[in-house]
Structure 1
Amino acid sequence: MESSDVVIVGAGIVGAAVARRLALGGFRVTVLDRGASAGGTSSSGEGNLLVSDKGPGAELDLAVLSGRRWAEFAAELPAELGPGFPDIEFEAKGGLVVATTATGADALLAFADTQRSAGVDARPVTAAEAAELEPDLTPRVAAAVFYPDDAQVQPSVATEALLASARRHGARLRQGVTVLGGVVSGGRLVGVDTTAGRFGAEHTVVAAGPWSAEVAGNFGVRLPVLPRRGTVVVTTRMPRRIRHKVYDADYVGAVESELAALQTSSVVESTAAGTVLIGSSRERRGFDERIEAAVVGELAAKALILFPFLADVPVMRAYGGFRPFVPDHLPVIGPDPRLPGLWHATGHEGAGIGLSVGTAELIGALMTGVEPEIPAAPFAVTRESLRKVTTG
């Protein structure tokens, strides 16, 4: 039996961030994944690091903390991993949220006002100022807000970088290993049984994204994480004409919605590689992997409202993935008192890339008995808003 202080189930960006934080803290860490690292949700997103889509509260606090940690990590990475490691493409380019209707404008400006009350740098700009930020933006701007703290990374490379850093500090990564169940002794989870044998650990962290409910279920614990499908359209490469992350004001409502039916809003941004990413869709339909032409068409049509020039830009491909949805729209982070030794770091839905390093900070503080920088109670699996779905 292999043993370590911590077993992390899931080698996506959240598991990678937790592994790095704990390894840096002196824990002996083993990361297990039934597939390849960054092979699930982490490879199917846009790499967003956002504060612009979050209202005052616990998730915004986590996003602000994470933003600071991402900037630090991006600065530390070249010296730590060497010049031969791929660039994580951290870009603090800012975000521009645009409303094209009077109703949308009122809602956007009111939302930005609540964010400013929580300390977010949310700057209303005129249509002329929006055009200076984005010269190819539609002239149909009823209101716009600029968020200088929004940023982006290349999510797959960032995941591999976090894992590489964790491994440099002693963490082990085992791929192609499926967790089958837990090893319980004296009412405490003390390890996991897998297709590669038994791994003993004082702590087991479930960071398996939309598959976290399945993993927790193998330990006899109910966890209300469901897959929420998303699709992204990618254009061919071209000279950069979109300078920031730009999305319509409907995006925030889609993020916060509990509806299972398809919802789309326009989210458009360039990448360092020269492509343009076009989202965003949300739909709960289990683990159905099909890419549907109707969804791609709807995303493209809404993107043209913001940037009409995209009508002449060919689409190269579309891809999709599953985001870990939790009914009250907050991730589940911390220990599970129903089974001592079990921890959760999941349920971030579409914000997992951005919130990963802040999540790792919370797990690291709680596991070592240190007071976290932000309150951890709102993310607890025992919180009132989840009580019925975890015990019912």
Structure 2
Amino acid sequence: MEAFDLIVVGGGLVGSALAWGAQTAGANVVLLDEGDQAHRAARGNFGLVWLQGKGVGTPAYMQWSLHAGRIWPEFAARLSNAVSFDIGWRQPGGLQFCLSAAELDKRRDVIARTQADGGDIDISILDRADLRDLLPGIGGDVVGASFSSLDGHVNPLYLLRALQQGLQDAGGRYRPGFRVEHIDAERDGFKAVSRTGSVTGKRIALTAGLGAASLAPHVGLSMPVKPERGQIVVTERVKPFLPYATNCIRQTVEGTVLLGSSHEDRGFDDGTDVPTAAMLCRTAARVFPALAEATVVRSWGSLRVMTPDGRPIYEESTLFPGAFAVTCHSGVTLASVHALEIGPSLAKGRLPEHLSSFTSGRFDVHQG
């Protein structure tokens, strides 16, 4: 049986980015992917690389996210050179639309808090006249927006495909349909066991999103994640009108328009409902009235992976050194640092030291 340097459990965006990064850094990696029956967040991801407002109130998370945004161009270039198709990466800047003066004041507060926390990101306020110069089709209900040049977007499914193809082209192994049911700590590493076989490796990284919570205790880790449902509505292809990334509407390279997304506590129900879809459509039509005439072609729901405080977990097991927890809900924004920094670090058997504040110990509650 072949033994790997690193087993990555979970083939979504987080696991695939980490696996590609570790393999291209010289490790022998196997990526174990349950497959499309898993609650794959990439299926319903809006595809934003979104930095304005990210991590406000938590400076370490803000700085980590901003760093991810700054190295996304390098990451996109390296990944594009490794595959033969466009992942849809664009960095035109991002607009967060405001439909009331109160919402605009909140964006000003975000800017002030970002600056107070040391966030080195240019965020400006655009009034309605500024927006009309950029986007003549803007609706009368829009009073302004915040804008950051660091924001961008990407096709999350093309990104996932590129990472998995890049891993294999670099000599790594990809095992689809491999649902890990148990992890055994062995003398020289770890064994990931499924109903159809097992894989052994010196180190193991749990990146299986919502599926990692039950596996983490096998190697002395804690990954207290829960689902949050998000729904997205998609229109027919329309003439290009929106070159920017925005908080609620995104026009893809192909011309379709994504309207989203919701934030719902519905457990593991990843379905859709008409009231939520109608709400997303109403909001989009307020921002761009012409969208009221566009035909909706489909909608879907998917599950985000949320920790109790919304920040990532990066941790090595103290009981079983060589076992790592890696999870977050910003799989697109943080893909760059997962691929270019955490993956290469795990190839060497460690996590970057500056991520020590992201362990699960922050959730412990001690009674006096």
TM-score (structure 2 length as normaliser): 0.91
Matched-pair contact (CA < 8 Å) for 1:181–1:219: no
1:102 partnered with 2:101: yes
**Residue of structure 2 equivalent to 1:178:** 179
Letter in 2 for 1:30: V
- CA deviations on 1:60-104 (whole Å, 9 max, x unpaired) are 2222222233211322344333xxx22101111211112222222
1:2 to 1:26, Cα distance in 2 relative to 1, 3 A:
same
CA-CA distance at 1:36 after TM superposition: 4.5
**Residue of structure 1 equivalent to 2:77:** 75
Matched-pair contact (CA < 8 Å) for 2:96–2:246: yes
2:342 counterpart (362, 371, 375):
362
1:55 to 1:216, Cα distance in 2 relative to 1, 3 A:
closer
CA-CA distance at 1:337 after TM superposition: 2.1
1:274 to 1:319, Cα distance in 2 relative to 1, 3 A:
same
CA–CA distance in 2 between the matches of 1:365 and 1:178?
25
CA–CA distance in 1 between the matches of 2:351 and 2:276?
44
Percent identity between matched residues is 29
**Residue of structure 2 equivalent to 1:162:** 163
**Residue of structure 2 equivalent to 1:50:** 50
CA–CA distance in 2 between the matches of 1:104 and 1:357?
31
Letter in 2 for 1:114: R
**Residue of structure 1 equivalent to 2:321:** 340
CA-CA distance at 1:369 after TM superposition: 6.7
1:179 match: secondary structure: coil
1:153 partnered with 2:154: yes
1:277 partnered with 2:258: yes
Matched-pair contact (CA < 8 Å) for 1:35–1:176: yes
Q: How does 1:189-228 map to 2 (within 5 A)?
A: 190-217=190-217, 219=219, 221-228=221-228
Letter in 2 for 1:100: L
1:31 to 1:55, Cα distance in 2 relative to 1, 3 A:
closer
- CA deviations on 1:213-246 (whole Å, 9 max, x unpaired) are 1332555644201111110000110101122122
CA–CA distance in 1 between the matches of 2:12 and 2:349?
25
1:293 partnered with 2:270: no
Letter in 1 for 2:136: P
CA–CA distance in 2 between the matches of 1:371 and 1:18?
12
**Residue of structure 2 equivalent to 1:318:** 299
CA–CA distance in 2 between the matches of 1:356 and 1:37?
22
Matched-pair contact (CA < 8 Å) for 1:138–1:306: yes
**Residue of structure 2 equivalent to 1:250:** none
1:52 match: secondary structure: coil
Q: CA RMSD in A?
A: 2.4
Letter in 1 for 2:46: E
Matched-pair contact (CA < 8 Å) for 1:345–1:359: no
- CA deviations on 1:133-164 (whole Å, 9 max, x unpaired) are 22211233434211111111111111111122
Matched-pair contact (CA < 8 Å) for 2:39–2:302: no
CA–CA distance in 1 between the matches of 2:125 and 2:48?
21
Letter in 1 for 2:228: R
1:58 match: secondary structure: helix
Matched-pair contact (CA < 8 Å) for 1:213–1:222: yes
**Residue of structure 1 equivalent to 2:91:** 92
CA–CA distance in 2 between the matches of 1:39 and 1:325?
13
1:49 to 1:38, Cα distance in 2 relative to 1, 3 A:
farther
Which sections of structure 1, spanning at least 5 residues, go unmatched?
248-266
**Residue of structure 2 equivalent to 1:375:** 354
CA–CA distance in 1 between the matches of 2:81 and 2:343?
25
CA–CA distance in 2 between the matches of 1:194 and 1:325?
25
